[in-house]
Amino acid sequence: MHAHLGDRLVVESPSTGVVRRDGEIIGLHHKDGTPPYDVRWSDTDDVTLVFPGPDAHVQHLETEADDTPSGTGTVGDDTAASRTSANPGDIGRRVAEERRRRGLSREETARRARISPQYLAYLEEQPSDPSTATLFALAGALDTTAGSLRGGGVDRPPGQGHALLHPRLNDLDQEECRRLLSTHGVGRVAVTAPDGRPAVVPVNYEVVDDAIVFRTRPGSVPAAAAGDEVAFEVDHVDEAMSQGWSVLAVGPATTVTDPDALRDLARRAHTEPWAGGTRDTWVSVRPTRLTGKRITPADQSARR
């Protein structure tokens, strides 16, 4: 018996062809893909070390696309390597990005999700379709949702799900607000545009020495924030759980002009502005008021 990461181990009942139990193979102990395997069982979400018996067989991932007869390929051979392209799938890219965003190593993420680091590497580097249980385990490990990792609803505005039956709206203290702002992300700045009309614009931002900073172009709408008191908002919506939070920072905005400060900001920036182009004007917002709200079920603590 040979298996690859992501294959399924199927255990049949005494009635031939009837599945008694199945699970996703998330860990290999031998390079040739022979048993034992670490298996996440679909019925319990438990992970156990399994030495398959005569009533078990391996159901290979993407069997139809594999020219090798079932059960003959091994993890280390060229056939196994060619089963999928060397490019990650959408889920793998989202998992890797969420992991890096939170500063987690593969080992730590795998430990939290109760999968092997080798399987996590496989998910991030190869097109794959992890089981629902594994997807939820990864979402929990990365403090996100399975829907977000799958990319569901990326073209729809958030918050279209049903409200909680008994929601609770909790105020967040400043320490929690600062934690949720974290070091960087995407937020919205509310400004008076050059034409005098109000505008709310999404920007990639950084948090540096308690100041919210973002890059833009001279004369752009975000650049109009400089010289005024502005509002800056960041939020997160968990569609699956109908929960979420928002943080609002209010304070004066200024254009950063000091050469040393500009070099330091460029050095400490985590990401380039998604909008692209030359954006070398830095605007800094120093909050004088920081507030936040979180929606949770009535029986759940306001703090996570």
The CA–CA distances, whole Å, from 118 to 4, 114, 172 equal 11, 12, 39
Per-residue model confidence (pLDDT) at position 118: 86
The answer for residues whose C-beta is within 8 angstroms of residue 17's C-beta and 6 or more apart is none
This prediction has a pTM of 0.54
pLDDT in the model for residue 153 = 59
Strand partners, 208: 211
The per-residue pLDDT for 240 is 61
pLDDT tens, 194-253? Answer: 888 999 999 999 999 889 999 999 989 999 999 999 999 999 887 666 788 999 999 999
Q: What's the confidence (pLDDT) of residue 276?
A: 83
The structural domains of the chain, with segments of one domain joined by +, span 8-81, 90-150, 167-297
Q: What is the pLDDT of residue 76?
A: 35
∠ CA 217-220-224, rounded to 5°: 110
Give pLDDT, residue 291.
Answer: 97
Q: What is the spatial distance between Cα 152 and Cα 144, in angstroms, rounded to a whole number? A: 13
Predicted pLDDT of residue 26: 87
* Right CATH for 167-297 from 2.30.110.10, 3.40.50.1260, 3.40.50.410, 3.10.520.10: 2.30.110.10
The architecture in CATH of the region 90-150 reads Orthogonal Bundle (1.10)
Domain 8-81 has CATH 2.30.30: yes
Segments of the chain with pLDDT less than 70: 14-19, 61-89, 152-156, 161, 239-241, 300-304
pLDDT of residue 222: 93
**CB-based contact 152:144 (threshold 8 Å):** no
Q: Can you give the pLDDT at residue 201?
A: 94
Q: Cα dist. 63→22, 56, 58, 212 in Å?
A: 17, 17, 11, 50
